[in-house]
Structure 1
C-alpha cells in the first residue's frame, strides 16, 4: 500500500478542485477582486494602506497617556483636590470615543458598488448616451458608450463607464485607484485612516476629525493652565515654567500643530457639507462656477449628510461564493471543453458514487483516446497538439483512477490501447 502511494501520479489543479469535495466553500471576501484587506472573517474591511491606521492611533493615544499621567497629576498636586482625576478621566473617555469613530470610519464598507460579471448590453444603455466607439465593442460594431446622461434634480449629469467594474457609475461615484473599487458618493481616499471615504462612512469621518480637533483644544488648554499655575506659584516666567514642566511645553507645541491640520479639515468639510459637495467634486468640477444639482439648501444639506439613514452595504462579504464547476479544458487544442466527472458527496450513497465515477471516467478516457487518435493521424496542427499535453491528461486520469480504486480497470484499458496502437 505504501509503495502504491509513493508511485501515485500527482494531480493537476483542475482535478484537485474536482475531487476536493470536502473543502469549505469560499467566501466573497476571499475571492474579492479589489485591493482591500479583510479581518475577522470578512467582518472588517480596510484599504491596502491599513498599516497607517496604527500610526494614527499612536499619534492620538500617546499624547493622551502623557497628559493623563503627568499633567493631571501636576494639576491635582497644585489644586490639592480631585480636579486632576476628572481632567484625566474626561481625556481618556473622549479618546476612547475618537478611537471608536476611527474604527467605524476605516473598518466598514464605505459604499463599494459590486462589480458586474459581464459588461452591460449596448441596447440596455439607453438612447441618452454619448455614442462613441468603445475599444471593447464586439464584432467591430459600436460598443458601449463611454458616458451617458442621467437626470439629477432636473439637471442632466454625465456618468462614466468603468472598464474595471464593468458598470456605469452612479452619480457622485468614482473609482478609487488605491482600493480598486467604485465607491458611492466618493469623497477621497484618506491615508490616515487607511480607507476610502464614501457614502457609508463620511459621517463617521467628519465626527472623527471634528472630535480630534476638540481633543487637541482640550489638551492644549489644560497644559496652559498647568504652566500658568507653575508661573504663579514659583513667580517665574514662561520659559522657567516650561523647564519645570517640559511635558506641558511639548504637548502645547504638538496640539498647536495638530489643531491646524485637523481643525483645517473640520472647517473645510463644514463648507463641503453646507454646499453638499464632496472633496472630489470640489477639486474637479468647481461647482461655484456652475450649478450644483445636489445642493438642497443649508439645513437640508446638513440633514441629508449627517442625520439621514445610512444605507445598508451592497456587499455581503461573508456570503458563500457561487462558483461554477471547473471546466476541464483539454490542452490538445480541440476547440471544445471536456466536462469534469460528476461526483456525489453523499456518504450514504457510496456504491452509487463509485458507479457514477466509473461511468464518467470511461467517458472521459474515451474522449482523450479519440483526441490521441487524431494526433496519430496527423489531423491537428503540430503547434496545437503535442505529446506533452496528452501525457499530462493521461497522468491526471491515472491519478483520478487511483483515487477511486480503479487502478486495475484503468491499467487493462491502457494495455488494450497500446496493443491496438502497435497493431493497426
Structure 2
C-alpha cells in the first residue's frame, strides 16, 4: 500500500491580506461613522443644548465644544493626510550613488554596479560584497535604505512602517508624521469625549430621571463606551510608536534588528524626532512640513538617511 507523506498546507497570509484592499472606502466610512456618532452625542444631544442653561453650565459647555471642534478638525486633517499622501515610492531607475559599505563618497563603477545587480537578481546577496545594496525580486528593482515591499499594496514603500487598514494606506516615510499626529489627536479627542460624557454615563446607574429620548440616551451610552475603548487602545499604540521614534526605527526594523545591539540610524532622541517631524517647531503639531525642512533634510524625502559616523564603516 502506498503511503503518502503528511500534507503540508502553506497558507500565505500576505495573499490573504490583499483582500484588505476591498475594505478601502468601508474603513473610511467606519471612521467617519464613529466621528458622527461622537459628534451627535457630545454636540447635539448634550453640550449643545447646555449652552442655553446659563451660569457655570454654559461656560463648561462652551469650553467642551470649542476644544472638541478644535481637536476634531486636527484629527480629520491628520487622518485624511495619511489616507491621501503616498507613503513614498522608489523613483524609476533609482540606483545608489555611494558605496556605503566601504564608506567612500564615490559612485559605483558601471561594471561593479552591473555585477551587484546580477548577483542580487540571482539571490547571491553574500557574493555582492555590498549587503547595503538591496534588490526586490517582486518589483524587479533596487530598494533604497530602509525600504520594504508591501504585500497589500503590491509595491516597495520608502521607510515602510506597516500597512494600516484604518487609513487604507501604507504608513511610510512621507506620511509617518501624519499617522502619528492622527494617533495623538485621536487619543486626545476620545479622552475628551470620554470625560465629558462620564457624568451622563454615571447617571444611567443612578435612580434619577435622565432627560432625553431613549435613542439619545442609548447613543450617549454607546459613545462613552466606544470612546473609552478607543482611548485606551490608541494610548498603547501611541506609546509604542513614540518609543520607535525615540530610537529612529520603524515597526518592521524593530522586529528585524532584535539581534542587532547597535543601530546606525539612532542619532539621539532630539535628532531622531526631527527625522520624522522636522526641525521647524511651528509645524510639529500639524500634518505639514516647512519648505526649509524639506529642502535641507533628505530623510523627510525617504531616500537618504544620516547615520552614526562611528558605525558607517561597520
**TM-score scaled by structure 1?**
0.50
What residue is the counterpart of 2:65 in the other structure? 88
What residue is the counterpart of 2:3 in the other structure? none
Q: Are positions 1:260 and 2:237 aligned together?
A: no
Kept in 1, the 8 Å contact 2:201–2:224? The answer is no
Task: Report how many aligned residue pairs link the two structures.
Answer: 244
In structure 2, the CA distance between the partners of 1:164 and 1:116, relative to structure 1 (3 Å rule), is farther
What residue is the counterpart of 2:30 in the other structure? 55
SS at match of 1:292: coil
CA apart distance, 1:48: 6.6
Kept in 1, the 8 Å contact 2:245–2:273? The answer is yes
Kept in 2, the 8 Å contact 1:105–1:201? The answer is yes
Taking the TM superposition and a 5 Å limit, the aligned residue runs for 1:78-157 are 79=56, 81-116=58-93, 123-125=111-113, 132=119, 134-135=121-122, 145-146=124-125
Distance 1:170 1:80 in 2: 57
**TM-score scaled by structure 2?**
0.66
Kept in 1, the 8 Å contact 2:183–2:238? The answer is yes
Gaps of 5+ in 2: 1-20, 96-108, 212-216, 280-292, 295-299, 304-314
In structure 2, the CA distance between the partners of 1:209 and 1:63, relative to structure 1 (3 Å rule), is same
Moved more, 217-226 or 179-188: 217-226
Gaps of 5+ in 1: 1-46, 136-143, 151-156, 232-236, 315-424
CA apart distance, 1:202: 0.2
In structure 2, the CA distance between the partners of 1:75 and 1:238, relative to structure 1 (3 Å rule), is farther
Q: Are positions 1:195 and 2:183 aligned together?
A: no
In structure 2, the CA distance between the partners of 1:267 and 1:241, relative to structure 1 (3 Å rule), is farther
In structure 2, the CA distance between the partners of 1:108 and 1:116, relative to structure 1 (3 Å rule), is same
CA apart distance, 1:200: 0.6
Distance 1:133 1:286 in 2: 24
Taking the TM superposition and a 5 Å limit, the aligned residue runs for 1:355-370 are none
Distance 1:87 1:222 in 2: 7
